[in-house]
Every structure is written in C-alpha cells, then in structure tokens.
Amino acid sequence: MLNMQIELVKQLFRRTFTNRFPSKRIPKSVSGFLRSVERGERKMNPPVPVPPGFRGRINYDKKKCIGCRLCVKVCPADAVVFLEKEKKIRYHLFRCTFCGQCVDVCPTKALQTTNEFLLADYEKD
Amino acid sequence: MRKAGDIIGQESRDTYSICVGPVHPALKEPVRLNLRVRGERIEHVDFELSQVHRGIEWMGTRRNPIQILYLSERICGICNICHTFAFCRAVESIAGIEVPPRARYIRTIVAELERIHSHILWAGVAAHELGFDSAMHYAFRAREKVLDVIENLTGNRIMKAIMMIGGVRRDMDKGQARLVMEAADFYSRCSRKLEKIFLGDPVIKSRTRDTGILTRHDCLALCSVGPTARASGVRKDVRQDEPYGAYPDVGVKAMTPDEITGETRGDVYDRIAVRLREIKQSADIIGRCVKDMPEGKIAHEDKANVLLGELRGVQGEGIGRHEAPRGEVFHYVKLVGEEAPYSWKVRAPTYNNLLSWIPMMLGAQIADIPVIAASIDPCMSCTNRAVVTGPGRRQVLGQDMLHDLSVKRTRELRRGLRP
C-alpha cells in the first residue's frame, strides 16, 4: 500500500496525464461551440496530433483510378464497390476498417490514407 | 442428478444454486457461471459459453487469405497480432514461403509490444477487481506509452494491420527504433515498479495468496496454457519449446514464479507475479531485437495481387502456433487451390484455460469469483466457436448430442432404404 501512496503523492505535483477535452465545460450546443471557435470567439484544445503514417480516412482520387479492381479484391470489409458502367470504384466510409490494404495495392496511388480520425456521425453519408 | 444451475435459488436444505452472468458487472465478457454454494463456499462449478459467437471461421472460408488477415485481427481486440501471426505461419507453412530475417525481427518486436500492453491492461483489471482503483489508473497510464509506440510503428493504436503473409507491411526506420528502445527501457523500470506496487502490497497479498490454486497436476491434466500454466510451475511456452520469428536468436525461457517469489503455489498471486515479470522479459526481448536487427527485405512479395496468385496455386494443410499474452494460439488452415481456404480453425488460449476455473473455484468464497475469473485473463469472444439457434430454446450441440443425431439419421435412412 505504501508504494502506491508514494506514487499518488508524486502525482499531485505532476502534469495531468490525460488529454484535454476540446472545451473546459460541456457546451450547450457542440456545433455552436465549433462555429464560435471558427469565428475566433472561443478557444479549443486541439486534438492530439497523429504520427506519420497514420491510417485514417481514405481519400479517393477518381481521376487517377484506372479501374483495375485490385482494391476490391483485397478489401476485407467490402468497403470498396466496383461500378461496372463507369469502370471506377465507390468507397464506403462506414464499412471501412482502415487497414490500408487498398492503399498499398493501388498501382496509381488513387487511394491515399489521410490523418482524419474524427469520423463519428449520426448519418451514413 | 440435477445439475447446478438447472434451477436458481434454494436447491436443498442448505445448498443454493446461483448463476453469475452472462452479462454481469464482475465479468468483462459474457459467460455464464452456474454455481452451487453451501453458505459462502462454492461446491460445484459449471459454465456456459457461446454467448458471443460471431462465425468468424465461416466468414473466413468466403474470403481470400489477405482479407482473412484483417478478419483474424478482429477475433480478439487485444491480441490481434497473435491471431494474424499464427494464421500467417499456417499459410506460410503450406506455401513454403520463407520469411526474410528483418521481417521476422519486426514481427517479434510488435508481438512483444502487444504482450506488454496486454499484461499491463490485465494488471489494471486485476487491481480493479480487488478494489484497488488507484493501481488500475496507474497501470492504464503506464500502458499509454506502448500504445503510442505501436501507433507510430503500425499506424493505429490497437488494430495493427502490420502482418502480411511472408513478411510485414511496414519497415522500421532509425527514429522508430529509438522510440522502441526508449519504450523497452521504460517498461523494464515500469515492471519493477508495478511489481513493488502489486507484490509488495500486504492487502493484495492476503487477498490473492492461496486463492484460486491450480496445482501442477490439475494444470497438466486440463492442458492449461500461457501464464496460467507457468504460474503453476509448468515450463510451457511456445517461444521456448518451438521457437519461431526472432525467438531462436533471442532465446526465451519460460517464466515460473519460483524465479520471482522463490516458491510455486499456483495461486492468483503467482499469476500476477508471472505476468508482471513477463513485461520485463518482453522489454528485454524487444531491446535485443532492435539491437540485432538485420538489414534486408521486409516481405517475401511486395505486391498483394502477385501473392494472392501464388497462394491460389498451392494445396495442403498447415498449422501456425504463437505464444499470445494469454497462452498458445493455434490456427489450422487447409488450402485446396482456390481463392478461399477450404477450412480455417482457430483455437484461442482461453479455450484451454477456462476449464482450470473449476479446480480454482471449488472451495473458494463467492467474493473470490471476480478475482479468480480475472486471474486467467479470459477472452470469451476468441473462444466461442459453435452455437445452434433455432425456433425453440437456444442450445449448443455437444459431442454426444451430435452423435445421437447422426445415429438417428442413419436409422431414418435405413428405414427409407427398406423396400
């Protein structure tokens, strides 16, 4: 018990370990809070930066796509669907498991991972 | 005779039947424990599994090996490298793929980082079960560092997605090697501190010493694996018995409690001691791997489509074993020259360890259930393999029931054959 108590007392003089919430108190309206941050009225604690090579939301560049279907073949979650008419793909974000295998396999680099990770939403589009 | 758990409540004049679970605050994952108690003492233990069956093996037989890699990560959230590692080894043994040395070292490093993070998480959960919440928060704070290192190495905190059949997907540069070394040093120190906090604490000691004893004999009879077996004095570790990856170069020795506390009792205290010391062992392995890292390729084949074509041409059966944080993971794969495997079978370590609950819990008190249940570090969703759902009551097909069904079917057929 004593060892833990020493640790706890030490902790009193240390910086808080957990990441800060975006705002100090829960705002009445989250979107209103974000808008006021954009206008520069209030300050927001920025999200924790991600390391290089983070597997976030996948960006699809339709112009570069040559319709080779390799990404359709390796996708474990059927997040990539091939469009027969256009010979292009459609990427479903809500099915994606963010493994990044399609990014590795893409021959023209039409698919790229981004650093975005705040993807939770109430709607599926 | 009536089984415990058939009825809930008073069974006879002085025995009660109680059930804990499937969803219960003391258990982290769904399992139902049926217990018969006399006063506070547990007299009979039985448990029901298959509350979270997801049919992952079935899904696997409809996907190609590269898709299965990411599916196998989802078998267990915490040990996602273990299942992928075992699956990769199984497929590699079928196709005769040689893994480049650098890839073997990177695999070992990531697997050991995962062991550190799993053991520290477990230490936190165990402390929470004992009501020692400050130690839980301490352990969770210590765990953040390894998660950051994993995020830097693989691109995500938990789901690593770094394994590839015949190698790994990402290389490690100098900066990352330095970060991993720093983490290894940190966890060497951290393991010592955690040992002081947990093992030196008189309350934890009196609560866990001689609680939930698994004797060496029971352990061998029930085929327990991993830290649960090692805490009972059985020197069993896949990394030691059948070295793979970079383990032959490092030389791992199974950790038993007599090296830490001087005696082997096989109780919850010993299991805490073994797990905490394994954090240090893992940190040492990582340190050696980073130092001796060879140069060279990181994958047998870079292009996934070429690899898939190569795997489509092979036939055969293969097994893959890996020492997960909870014990030995075992994967069986059968490829028949098609895109998807013909069969894929997973045996997670908790499957072996669950039965050791019975000797541990017999004679214990009701208040010890959460501590004993948590002491084997159970992972239910890895374990659940078969469930039959129908219009009536849900039931699980056991071996004898299956056999009866088969006999019945034969009789029916014979009746049909008769002119």
- Largest Cα–Cα distance of chain B, in whole Å? 80
Residues of A with CB under 8 A from a CB of B: 1, 3-4, 7-8, 17, 50-51, 53-55, 70, 73-77, 97-101, 104-105, 113
**Measured between CB atoms, does B196 come within 8 Å of chain A?**
yes
Q: What is the pLDDT of residues A51-63, one digit of tens each?
A: 888 888 888 998 9
Output Rg (C-alpha) for chain B, integer angstroms: 23
Are A28 and A65 members of one domain?
no
Q: List phi, psi (to 5°) of B154.
A: -115, -20
How confident is the model at residue B110, as a pLDDT? 92
Task: Tell me how close the Cα of A108 comes to any Cα of chain B, in angstroms.
Answer: 13
**What is the C-alpha to C-alpha distance for residues B269 and B261, in angstroms, rounded to an integer?**
10
Backbone angles phi, psi at A41, to 5 degrees: -80, -40
Peptide bond into A49 cis (omega under 30): no
Same domain, A70 and A107: yes
pLDDT > 60? residue B390: no
Task: Tell me which residue has tokens 């390729």.
Answer: B297
Query: For chain B, what is the mean pLDDT?
Result: 86
Instruction: Compare CB distances from B155 to A8, A75, A100 and report the shortest one's residue.
Output: A100
Number of neighbours of residue A90 by Cβ within 10 angstroms? 12
**Residue A121 domain-assigned (yes or no):** no
Q: What is the pLDDT of residues B117-130, one digit of tens each?
A: 999 999 998 888 88
Checking if the pLDDT of A1 tops 50, the result is yes
The Cβ-side half-sphere exposure at B58, using a 13 Å CA radius, reads 7
User: For B405, phi and psi rounded to 5 degrees?
Assistant: -60, -40
Mean pLDDT of chain A: 84
Rounded CA-CA distance B75/B383 in Å is 9
Enumerate the β-bridge partners of residue A88. A83
Domain boundaries, chain B: 9-52+365-370+380-417, 63-358
pLDDT in tens, B249-302: 888 888 888 888 888 888 899 999 999 999 999 999 999 999 999 999 888 888
| Nearest C-alpha in B relative to A103 | B304
* Two structure tokens written together for B5: 């758990």
Buried b (16+ CB within 10 A) or exposed e, B93-103: ebbebebbbbb
Please tell me whether residue B380 adopts helix, strand or coil conformation. Answer: helix
CA distance A113 to A91: 13
Query: Spelled out in words, what is the top-level CATH class assigned to the domain B63-358?
Result: mainly alpha
Residue of A nearest to B59 (CA): A76
List the single residue in A with minimal CA-CA distance to B164: A101
Whether pLDDT at B395 is above 60: no
pLDDT of residue B7: 58
- Residue A69 predicted with pLDDT over 90: no
Max mean pLDDT among B49-63, B100-114, B120-134, B374-388 falls in B100-114
Quick one: what percent of chain B has pLDDT higher than 90? 32
**Cα atoms in the 13 Å half-sphere on the side-chain side of B162:** 31
Q: What is the pLDDT of residues A3-53, one digit of tens each?
A: 788 888 888 888 888 888 888 788 777 778 878 888 888 888 887 888 888
* Residue-wise DSSP of B260-273: TTS----SHHHHHH
Residue that the structure tokens 């493994």 belong to:
A99
Task: Point out the residue among B74, B138, B304 whose CB comes nearest to the CB of A101.
Answer: B304
pLDDT at B1: 41
Residues of B in contact with A105 (CB under 8 A): 303-305
Helix (H) or strand (E) holding B290: helix B268-291
Q: Which residue has the higher pLDDT, B384 or A100?
A: A100
CA distance linking residue B107 with residue B42, whole number of Å: 44
> Domain for residue A29, yes or no?
yes
B322 closest CA partner among B70, B108, B105, B118: B108
What residue in A sits closest to B141 (Cα-Cα)? Answer: A17
**Residue A69 is assigned to a structural domain of this protein:** yes
Encoding tokens for residue A67?
């319709």
**Residue A82 C-alpha, separation from nearest chain B C-alpha, in angstroms:** 17
CB-CB neighbors (< 8 A) of B67 in chain A: 74-76
Confidence band for B4, pLDDT divided at 50, 70 and 90: very low
Of A51, A75, A105, the CB nearest to B151: A51
Residue A47 forms part of a structural domain: no
- Using the beta-carbon criterion (under 8 Å), do A105 and B70 form an inter-chain contact? no
The residue among A50, A125, A44 whose CA lies nearest residue A91 is A125
Contact of B202 with chain A, judged by CB distance below 8 Å, is answered with: yes
CATH of the domain at A65: 3.30.70.20
Contacts of B408 (CB under 8 A, 6+ apart): none
Find tokens 């062991």 and name the residue: B115
pLDDT one-digit tens code per residue, B162-175: 999 988 998 989 99
In a domain, A45, yes or no: no
Which of B66, B140, B303 to mutate: most A Cβ within 10 Å?
B66
Nearest residue to B293 (alpha-carbon basis) of B260, B340, B252, B245: B245
Cα gap A117→B247, rounded to integer Å: 36
The count of structural domains within chain A is 2
Residues B297 and B102: beta-carbon distance below 8 Å: yes
- Judge: A76–B134 Cβ closer than 8 Å, yes or no: no
- Do A69 and A103 reside in the same domain of the chain? yes
**Ranges assigned E (strand) in A1-125:** 58-60, 80-83, 88-91, 111-113
Q: Are B266 and B219 in contact (CB under 8 A)?
A: yes
Residue whose token pair is 């030995």? B328
Chain A interface disruption, residue of B59, B64, B69, B70, most A CBs within 10 A: B70
pLDDT of B413: 81
CA–CA separation, B411 vs B396, rounded Å? Answer: 23
B227: number of Cβ within 10 Å: 32
Q: Which amino acid is at A89?
A: I
Helix (H) or strand (E) holding B103: helix B101-130
Distance from CA of A83 to the nearest CA of B (A): 20
Separation between Cα atoms, residue B294 and residue B296, nearest integer Å: 7
Contact A75 B67 (CB under 8 A): yes
Q: A89 is in which domain, residue-wise?
A: 58-113
Tell me if A76 and B68 make a contact (CB, 8 A cut-off): yes
| pLDDT exceeds 90 at position B84 | yes
Task: State the DSSP code for B74.
Answer: T
Query: E strands, B166-314, where?
Result: 167-168
A4 contacts on B by Cβ (under 8 Å): 132, 134-135, 138, 197, 201
Task: Tell me whether B197 touches chain A (CB under 8 Å).
Answer: yes
Q: Which tens digit of pLDDT belongs to each residue from B308-351?
A: 888 888 999 999 999 999 889 999 999 998 889 999 999 888 88
Is A123 part of a structural domain of the chain? Answer: no
Axis-axis angle for helices B101-130, B268-291 (nearest 10) = 150
